[in-house]
A = this chain, B = another copy of it.
Amino acid sequence: MNRLNNREKLLIEGARVVHKHGLSATSVRDITTAAGVPLGSFTNHFPSKDAFGLEVLERYRSRSEAEVQATLLNDQLRPLDRLSAYIDSARDFLNQNQMCDGCLCGNISAEANEHSDEIVDRVVRAFADDERSIAYCLWAAVEAGELPPDTDVEDLAGFVLSSLQGAFLVAKVRRSPEPVNRFKRVLFARLGTGCPEV
């Protein structure tokens, strides 16, 4: 039971440190110190810092995949309202700390040269998954007549994915959610619809 608890503590508190300081800058000692467990306990639960990083990423993604389900993939909502809710929910999550920690996947991307192929591939897959979910939502918008039939859905989905990452990045260095709000305002204006609730 204590074994399980230490593993949980490492993942919960370690994830906070990794999110705040970056996976690359975080040592195993930083993780065990944050979790309040002995240094040696780490290797009882994780074969390497990479393995730990991958599990932190999986948990981070579980949360955001649930948000994607509740927003982009939620057929109960009007398509562009889903896109709006998706952007808002991501912003609100990151804004718990004035945007200062940024998106974990974006942070790891910025230090991609420091990481194993496994970590990098996991982030690439996360972005590809989100891009597909955005495309699903945009196709629904086309079908519902909220976007014109000749909409460049695949291109637009990739554009939204990367532009949102950029808004998070600039929001992080400016310590303000305004770049995300502006991204949303301009995006919806350029889609030819008004911007919901910004």
Contacts and interface: CB of A to CB of B under 8 A. Distances in A.
Count of this chain's copies in the oligomeric assembly? 2
A183 B164 CA distance: 12
B158 A179 contact: yes
A137 interface: no
Task: Decide if the interface of chain A is mainly helix, strand, loop or mixed.
Answer: helix
Interface residues of A, number: 49
A169 interface: yes
30 contacts: A22-B110, A22-B113, A24-B24, A107-B110, A107-B111, A109-B170, A110-B110, A110-B111, A110-B169, A123-B173, A127-B170, A127-B174, A152-B186, A155-B182, A158-B182, A159-B163, A159-B183, A159-B186, A162-B166, A162-B170, A162-B179, A162-B183, A163-B166, A163-B167, A165-B166, A165-B170, A166-B167, A166-B169, A169-B169, A190-B191
